[in-house]
Structure 1
Amino acid sequence: MRFGLADHQYGWDEQRRWRAAQPALPVGRWLVDPLVTTFGPDLAVVTTRFRYAGTGRQTPTWVRLSVGRRIVTAHVSEPTDPPTGSGTPT
């Protein structure tokens, strides 16, 4: 499952088709305050904000499989209202 800014894909086939049709990310994209939370050696959840042509946030979940580490679910969004809080992870 991948939730994008204006799209969503269910399953590997839909995600592969979507990725193949997308242009490369714009130059200048960077991550802000990434936070990696691990649950043993085989699972990690990453939360971060990103910037380029606006701001957004993303949360991929990584799992170690027999073929290597893979994102098994992801959420990407752009906030519609200014965020509240300090913006610093605690």
Structure 2
Amino acid sequence: MDIDLPDVLAEVTAQFERYEKALVSNDVAVLDELFRNDKRTLRYGMGENLYGYDAIMAFRAGRSPAGLNRRTDKTVISTYGRDTAVASTLFYRESAPGKVGRQMQTWIRFPEGWRIVAAHVSIIDEPKDPKT
């Protein structure tokens, strides 16, 4: 299996960056587009477990657009073959000092393009050791 093919890595990185821009600007249309429209798509959030595209769309539609700015760090995007990728990043918000957010997404290439099929978001206390 080919891991991190440069062209595939560039494609997924561009979609991840598009997602991040849409997230902080609350561009719900782009966020909805980038999640796979399928009942098996899931998103585990900070206070919700969303099963299926419709539940994810409803969450996005009802979420407040306030306080979405964040800074990402230690983003790792890995591709496996030409059609599968995992994107992981840490994020920080000024509104949550001493906390670090963690986000992971599984991306799959479909005929309509790269789509997230699973996502997990959580927040923990910032580790004392910067290596962790």
Q: CA 1:6–1:12 in 2, change beyond 3 Å: closer, same or farther? A: same
Q: How does 1:32-71 map to 2 (within 5 A)?
A: 32-52=73-93, 53-54=95-96, 55-71=100-116
Provide the C-alpha distance between the structure 2 equivalents of 1:70 and 1:25, rounded to a whole number of angstroms: 26
Normalising by structure 2, report the TM-score. 0.59
Moved beyond 4 Å, runs of 4+: none
Q: Which residue of 2 aligns with 1:16?
A: 57
- 1:24 deviates by 2.8
Identity, % of aligned positions: 34
Provide the C-alpha distance between the structure 1 equivalents of 2:101 and 2:107, rounded to a whole number of angstroms: 19
> Gaps spanning 5+ residues in structure 2: where?
1-41
Q: Deviations over 1:1-44 (max 9, x none)?
A: 10001111000110111111112363541210100111012111
Q: Which residue of 2 aligns with 1:76?
A: 121
The answer to which structure has the higher strand fraction is 1
CA RMSD of aligned residues (A): 1.9
Normalising by structure 1, report the TM-score. 0.83
> Gaps spanning 5+ residues in structure 1: where?
none
